[in-house]
Amino acid sequence: MVEAYQAGILADSGLIAHGRGEAFDYLIGEKTTSYAKTAIQAAAAALILAERPVISVNGNTAALSSPEIVKLANQLNTRLEINLFYRTPKRVEAVEKILKEAGAVDILGTEDEIPVHIKGLQGPRSRASREGVYQADVVLVPLEDGDRAEALVSGGKFVITVDLNPLSRTSKTASITIVDNLVRVMPELRDEVDKLKNKDKNELKILLDNFDNRKNLCNSLKLMAETYLCQDANHVIRM
Ligand code: ATP
């Protein structure tokens, strides 16, 4: 991530956000939990069922997972759109470059495009591509910030996010939140898409209907407390 920062892909705040993620990753034992697996399965179902899915890529996502993001986009025939919190032409170019190096050909949200604006947001963060997020029914937005997540959901989008912090506004607002490290999520999500892509649509709808994001977030939070706080407490009592 430091290299990505030096290469201009990340803003300095991106490094701080990464640190927040690492702290929560420690609390889940740095592995994919059963609750994250349930969310990944629901996310795969939603992406397969989507009519106009889009993957929104920011600096952190590009730095951590470009090759996997590009593979997922090809697997689902989904468009990729660059959306940066601190947008500068140079940073957009850096993200575009890393996505192209990973094999992406069709990239939305670049500087030569005339953007449309998402209601409820101000400045460059309100940008969306007319052919991308603006018209999408399902948006995969890993590591998103709360304002944008809220605006997307208010705009009627089905929002799938990846966020290690189950208490963030994004986590609480999204339709599906995968509480896990993006680096571990991407290969799992691609496997799940492969497993589910030939299933009956009704089966996928049932899978999706049975997913309860708030319950899943609560379970992830409980797991964080049980794994560390409660085990430590028992340990103290035994001593
Ligand atoms: P919000 O605005 O949603 O309340 P925030 O202010 O923390 O939260 P951001 O900094 O935009 O918003 O969000 C980045 C989120 O991504 C943080 O919640 C952080 O924990 C999480 N995060 C950082 N790195 C990773 C990672 N590798 N995998 C998954 N989540 C991560």
Share of the chain above pLDDT 70, in %: 95
pLDDT attached to residue 239: 33
pLDDT attached to residue 232: 55
Residues 6+ apart with CB under 8 A from 222: none
Residue 124: band (very low, low, confident or very high) from pLDDT cuts 50, 70, 90: confident
Q: Which tokens is 101 given?
A: 């190096």
Candidates 164, 172, 221: which one to mutate for ligand 1, based on the most atoms within 8 Å of Cβ?
Answer: 164
Task: Tell me the average pLDDT across 2-13.
Answer: 94
Q: Considering only CA atoms, which residue is closest to atom 10 of ligand 1?
A: 17
Task: Tell me the average pLDDT across 194-205.
Answer: 97
- Ligand 1 binding pocket (C-beta < 6 A) is 17-18, 20-21, 24, 60, 64, 143, 145-146, 162-165, 168-170, 181-182
Q: How many A from CA of 93 to the centre of ligand 1? A: 23
pLDDT at 235 over 90: no
pLDDT at 123 over 90: no
What is the Cα–Cα distance from 193 to 47, expressed in whole angstroms? Answer: 8
pLDDT at 20 over 80: yes
pLDDT at 227 over 90: no
Residue 226: band (very low, low, confident or very high) from pLDDT cuts 50, 70, 90: confident
pLDDT at 237 over 80: no
Residue found under tokens 């990944």: 40
- Lowest mean pLDDT segment, chosen from 67-81, 83-97, 112-126, 186-200: 112-126
Alpha helices of 80-174 — where are they, by DSSP H?
Answer: 89-101, 146-154, 169-173
pLDDT at 203 over 60: yes
CA nearest neighbour of 185 among 5, 35, 19: 35
| Residue bearing the bigger pLDDT, 86 or 107 | 107
Strands (E), the chain: 53-57, 79-82, 107-108, 116-117, 127-128, 138-140, 158-162, 176-178
pLDDT at 238 over 50: no
pLDDT at 2 over 90: yes
